[in-house]
Amino acid sequence: MKRHQTTGAALLRIVRAVLKEDLLTFLPKDRRLEALMVLSALAMAERELERDPPEDEAAAIAKLLGGASNEEQALRRQLAEAVRGGRFDADPALYELAKAGLRWRLQESNPRVLGEG
Using 50, 70 and 90 to split pLDDT, how confident is the model at 52?
A: low
Q: What is the pLDDT of residue 71?
A: 84
Are 62 and 41 contained in the same domain? no
Residue 45 lies in a domain: yes
3-state secondary structure of 45: helix
Q: Residue 39: which domain range?
A: 8-50
Which of the residue ranges 29-38, 45-54, 97-106, 108-117 has the most confident prediction, judged by mean pLDDT?
A: 29-38
Residue 2 lies in a domain: no
Are 72 and 28 contained in the same domain? no
Question: Can you give the pTM of this predicted structure?
Answer: 0.56
Residue 100 lies in a domain: yes
Are 110 and 61 contained in the same domain? yes
Are 65 and 106 contained in the same domain? yes
Are 108 and 90 contained in the same domain? yes
As a whole number of angstroms, the distance between CA 62 and CA 14 comes to: 40
Are 62 and 106 contained in the same domain? yes
The CA–CA distances, whole Å, from 48 to 14, 37, 39, 75 equal: 16, 17, 14, 24
Q: What is the pLDDT of residue 26?
A: 95
As a whole number of angstroms, the distance between CA 102 and CA 114 comes to: 11
Reply yes or no on whether the pLDDT at 31 is more than 80.
yes
Task: Report how far apart the first and last C-alpha atoms of the chain are (Å, whole number).
Answer: 38
Reply yes or no on whether the pLDDT at 2 is more than 60.
no
Quote the number of domains for the chain. 2
Q: What is the pLDDT of residue 50?
A: 80
Are 100 and 80 contained in the same domain? yes
